[in-house]
Amino acid sequence: MTTNQVFGDGGLSWGWAYASVAVAALSLWSGEILAGERREAPLVPQGRRGTYVRQLRDNVRAIETIGVATNPPYALQLRQVYVDVSLALKPPHDNGQSPQNAPPGERRSLESFLRGDTSPVLVVKGDPGSGKTTLVRHTAQRLSGPTRPGIRRPLPVLLYLRDHAAAVTGDQPPTLGAAAVAAGWLHGKVPASWVERRLDRGGCVVMLDGLDEVPDGVVAWVRRQIERYPRNRFIITTRSHGFHPDDLPGAEVLQVRRFTGEQISRFLHGWYYAIECRDTEATGRQVRAAARAKADDLIARLRATPALYELAANPLLLTMIANVHAYRNQLPGSRADLYAEMCEVLLHRRQEAKRLAGATGLRGPQKENVMRRLALVMTRDHVNDIPAAAAVGVIEEALRQVSPDVRPRVFLAEVVRSGLLVERGPDLYAFVHPTLQEYLTAEQIRRHPELLGLLTGNVDDPWWRETTRLWAAGADDATPVIAACIASGTVRALALALDCAEEAVAVDPRTRAELETLPADTDPGGEDDARRRLITGVKASRALRDVIVLGEGTAVCAHPVTRELWALFTKDRKASGRHIPRDDDPAPGQETDPATGMWAVDVTRFVTWLNTHFDDGTVYRLPTTAELSDPAAGLVTGVAGHTIWAHGETRPRLHRPDGVPWPYDVPPRPLRRRPAADRAATTPYLRIVVRSRALDGGVGSAGLLDLGRDGRLTPDRVERLPRMISWADAMQVRELARDLARELHVRVDGPTRDLHTDSALDHAGLTGFRPTTLDAFQLLVACRAMTRPRRSRTGEELADFDTYLRDLVCGPLKSRDTTRRPPDVLTRRALDLLHDIPGDHDEPMATAVGLAGTVHTTVTPILDRSSPYDKTTLTCARVELLAVLAVLATPAVSAQVTKAGVPAVVPRVAVTLAEAYRGLVALQERAAGRLPANEVLLLVRQ
């Protein structure tokens, strides 16, 4: 109406009416679009809830690095660096294992448990520094974040129990709502009554952190709150052994799992990016590239030192390592310096930063003094776990010199609370990681030279190896231990001597010279075989010295077998007559690269060979697939992108991690081309088949095979050449007929003489005569004649024949049921399946079964290394597999198995044979350098 009044001189104009309607519609449409965009924007709660969640969000915004000595000058944002820890559901009464040695189990996030059908009370257990507090802080941050319209998240309620211990154990303990608003970050912002109403309404997630850090009376208060507010979810964090199931009946226990290698990488890349953004006050590609370079540098350093890498699986220790690396631009000069800082943080700095009053009143150096003595006694007694009574006895003696007034059990409880010691079971204690026990023992011996005999007298004891290396890294002069190793002369002692010399600050020149005169010649032809074996054992011991501890305490080597160690083995096997390729010494700088490309039989013989070189009972074995699936196995370096040999029931088997290609998977193009190439390489056999059928008038198999085995083409048979060529035309192999005519012209255009098939084979570059390959081509030509779908055009007969061969292989490999086994295993399996085909095996099927058996017996010696690799032999074997596939594809066989009611047998055999064919192609492609090997060998030390 307004438009009409203005633009229509007060009168009604239908034109302006339509225009106004259009404008109105456009306005509504644009308004919907803009409103839609606004609806996508997160909404911040208003009122008291808004105040509450803003305060909570501000409180948990920064990541905690409590007590870390080397710390950033600013707080990093939790969202920038947080990596979700993994949890595993644990039986509530299972308190016998620490998370470090816990079995793999299923790894899940806390959010998945909150969404699932679980108990309303979840107890999250983990060792100190495993990320429990950070987990609940991140959960609170996520639940207090902005939401979308129509989505109302549970209200998070976060309490650090250590801040409320005095109040809840007093005469008038507060309610949960009152305790929540008493926190410094929320005090005075919202009334307790508002929180109480929300708890009464239900739908809150109450997080109570640090049940192990408070007196026992707090547990009763927690239980009352759970009973008082049953419509809410409760998450309670505690140390692994700071909780008893009877404290909170009905609670589900979740065990915090240590970081995997992938989680370590994600944390470090996020950490360095956050630091670079703060340092440069910028973001973007260049900042991210600089952060990536620093993170990759630290990851490389950790991987080069497996003991550090394993420590990095603990989030707190990883944070400490990252801080030291970031703000010193390097790791400390020795592992010992880093371990020293870790012990200080765990023993006293972290508690001091949390303002937790120590029950003993001892200073940090005094606590360290006592713990060094305890570590020495445990190492001397060859134990990682010590009963409480024994620990108290050692501590009591040490406290007499430090502070006689401190009670030993009070000190023990305080050290356990600090995290340096953990409770492995009822009245059983251990250091949080064996490396820290070894470090403290080495430090105690370094400070008390009179104890050096413990090292010099145990150079052959593997228990003391790491302690000795840590001592050598910090000692002013490592000569006494190195001299003791040389005097012992064993494999283990000499390997330890070389390790100590690498890490030592100083060594007497004469002792170092004596160590360097150890012969390096490992030639199997050397005169001193015993000395050669000794040095080989020393090299093997050093190459395999670092281990990663998996679940149940399994010690898996931290690196795969190196090229240098594999070369020693292959040289030795070569000298004994075995046919093993790639036995050359690795190029400089490649000695520690993983050896690749070994076969199952190589693996078995290597492990046997290796175990004969140790004079101290050391034994290595292959890992099981379950051990390789343990998340801690991700800390092993050098295995990314590789398949790994594992223990099998009868022979080693390949473990293929997700995303890693099977080593016998040939790319599609070379696989599609190979059947034609195999036919071309063995064409003389095909010519003989055509020749024999023509000269014998196309008689049955007996005549063909007799001619093939007799191998003679007499002049009277040559006179029948026109008939032969006309037969070839009828079989639609005109190209073969022309080739055959040319060859016969060359061979009979001279003195009349007998022609032997060997001459044709030798002329084609094939050595020897293989009757089974002749049988194979006989079947291929016959089966092709029965199954060809159409008449080939002139001049395309041979190309069509090659297409037929290609489809015999590529057709079955389209199946999703393809197997993953070596070629010899596949042919053996195919033989078993062939025998399962019901009915009488007529001549073609009998010949096919015989060919499969021939392939198996031919390939097995090559894969067994008792026969050398031979390209021609593998080519003929593949042609014979093609013939078996051709027979299986004939209508007669299909009808036979269908009639017997087992039609699935033939497809299974075909897939197995096609896989065997592909495996043999892979061997040839690998020998030619066109297919990279990815098998590596990882060992477990028993």
Q: Give 225-270 pLDDT, tens digit per residue.
A: 999 999 999 999 987 766 777 788 889 999 888 888 888 889 999 9
Distance CA 918, CA 671 (A): 7
Specify the pLDDT at position 618.
84
pLDDT at 137 over 80: yes
Q: Give 280-289 pLDDT, tens digit per residue.
A: 888 888 999 9
Residue 923 banded pLDDT, cuts 50, 70, 90: confident
Residue 489 banded pLDDT, cuts 50, 70, 90: confident
Mean pLDDT, rounded, for 867-878: 86
Distance CA 393, CA 516 (A): 45
Helix 797-810 to helix 668-681 angle (10° resolution) is 130
Distance CA 292, CA 476 (A): 37
Q: Give 636-669 pLDDT, tens digit per residue.
A: 888 889 999 999 888 898 999 888 888 888 888 9
Higher-confidence residue: 463 or 551? 463
Tokens 């010099």: give the residue.
456
E strands within 140-281?
A: 155-160, 204-209, 233-238, 252-256
Specify the pLDDT at position 769.
61
Q: Which two tokens stand for residue 371?
A: 């713990």
- Please list, residue by residue across 288-325, b when 16 or more beta carbons sit within 10 angstroms of its beta carbon and e when fewer do: eebbeebbebbbeebbebbbbbbbbbbbbbbbbbbbbb
pTM: predicted TM-score of the whole model, two decimal places: 0.64
Backbone angles phi, psi at 259, to 5 degrees: -65, 145
Lowest mean pLDDT among 374-383, 778-787, 804-813: 778-787
Specify the pLDDT at position 523.
55
Residue 493: CB atoms within 10 A of its CB come to: 23
SS3 of 338, please? helix
Q: Give 602-642 pLDDT, tens digit per residue.
A: 899 999 999 988 877 789 999 999 899 887 788 788 888 99
One-letter amino acid identity for 805?
L
Specify the pLDDT at position 868.
82
Out of 55-69, 295-309, 729-743, the most confident range is 295-309
Distance CA 783, CA 786 (A): 5
Specify the pLDDT at position 594.
92
Specify the pLDDT at position 391.
94
Domain with CATH 3.40.50.300 in the chain: 49-257
One-letter amino acid identity for 348?
H
Specify the pLDDT at position 721.
38
Specify the pLDDT at position 299.
85
Q: Which two tokens stand for residue 470?
A: 């840590």
Whether 319 contacts 68, CB under 8 Å: yes
Distance CA 90, CA 86 (A): 13
Residue 91 banded pLDDT, cuts 50, 70, 90: low
Whether 531 contacts 519, CB under 8 Å: yes
Q: Give 424-473 pLDDT, tens digit per residue.
A: 767 888 887 788 899 999 999 999 999 999 999 999 998 898 899 999 98
β-partners of residue 253 are 90, 123
Q: Give 676-690 pLDDT, tens digit per residue.
A: 999 888 876 776 665
Specify the pLDDT at position 744.
39
Q: Please report, for residues 385, 646, 754, 763, the alpha-carbon distance to residue 768 in angstroms, rounded to integers and kept in the order given.
A: 68, 39, 18, 11
Lowest mean pLDDT among 351-355, 397-401, 592-596: 351-355
Distance CA 940, CA 170 (A): 55
Q: Give 149-194 pLDDT, tens digit per residue.
A: 667 789 999 999 988 888 988 889 999 999 999 988 888 889 999 9
Q: Rounded to 10 degrees, what is the CA torsion of 421, 423, 428, 433?
A: -50
Whether 379 contacts 437, CB under 8 Å: yes
Q: Measuring CA to CA, which residue among 632, 554, 573, 565 is closest to residue 594?
A: 565
Pick the CATH number of 49-257 from 3.20.20.30, 3.40.50.150, 2.30.110.10, 3.40.50.300: 3.40.50.300
Specify the pLDDT at position 482.
93
Residue 413: CB atoms within 10 A of its CB come to: 14
In this structure, what DSSP letter does residue 561 have?
Answer: P
Q: Does residue 219 come out as left (phi exceeding 0), alpha (psi in the -120 to 50 range) or beta?
A: alpha
Q: Which two tokens stand for residue 202?
A: 């239900």
pLDDT at 834 over 80: no
